[in-house]
Amino acid sequence: MTPVSESTDHTGFWMRMVSNAVSQSFARKVETEGVTVAEWAFMRALYDMDPMPPSVLANRMGMTKGAISKLADRLLAKGLIARTESAADKRVHNLGLTREGNAKVPVLASLADENDAEFFSVLTKEEHERLDLILKALAERRGLKTTPVD
């Protein structure tokens, strides 16, 4: 009746609702390991990689340098990453996982696997596959590149 559409008319609405729920669920899981979701994303980006400067991480994670800087401070305080000076350029330093940080990644990764499997288990296999395909198509066709926070 009203000329004003409902929020629930929009795909974006449902998208966000579901996305929020997955993320929240995951946040609760990683919390048990003493890290936040952003911290997990940071560590995942570093895993299996040579230490890299904040600017590169900012780029990969789709966050600003400022955010990375503060995130790095927190992870340093937790002893999960380490800073190493760059010999060539004194402005630059590299960030890499500590032994402890490195050990934590597989644990967190399996929480991520578990969370995803659990959350989407209410879909049939066919629905789940279809959803993946559509989301990936959307991301590609829209040229989305900034890596969000899992």
Asked if 80 and 97 count as a contact pair (C-beta separation under 8 A), the reply is yes
Min separation Cβ 31 and DNA, Å: 9
- Verify binding: residue 29, a second copy, rule CB under 8 A: no
Instruction: Kindly tell me the sign of the dihedral angle through the C-alpha atoms of 47, 52, 53, 58.
Output: negative
- Verify binding: residue 12, a second copy, rule CB under 8 A: yes
The span from the CA of 142 to the CA of 63, in Å, is 19
Give the one entry of DNA, a second copy, none that residue 91 binds, where binding means its C-beta sits below a cut-off of 5 to 8 angstroms depending on kind.
DNA
The span from the CA of 48 to the CA of 86, in Å, is 19
Query: By rule CB under 7 A, what string of x and - marks binding of each residue 2-41 to DNA?
Result: ----------------------------------x-x---
Q: Which listed range, 1-9, 49-57, 126-134, 135-143, lies at the site for DNA (CB under 7 A)?
A: 49-57
Q: What is the DSSP letter of 22?
A: H
Count of chain residues binding DNA (CB under 7 A): 27
Strands of the chain, DSSP E? 81-85, 93-97
- Between residue 73 and residue 102, which ones bind DNA under the rule CB under 7 A? 73-74, 83, 88-93
- Verify binding: residue 66, DNA, rule CB under 7 A: yes
Rg (CA), the chain: 19
The span from the CA of 90 to the CA of 81, in Å, is 20
Interface residues toward DNA, by CB under 7 A = 36, 38, 53-56, 62-74, 83, 88-93, 149
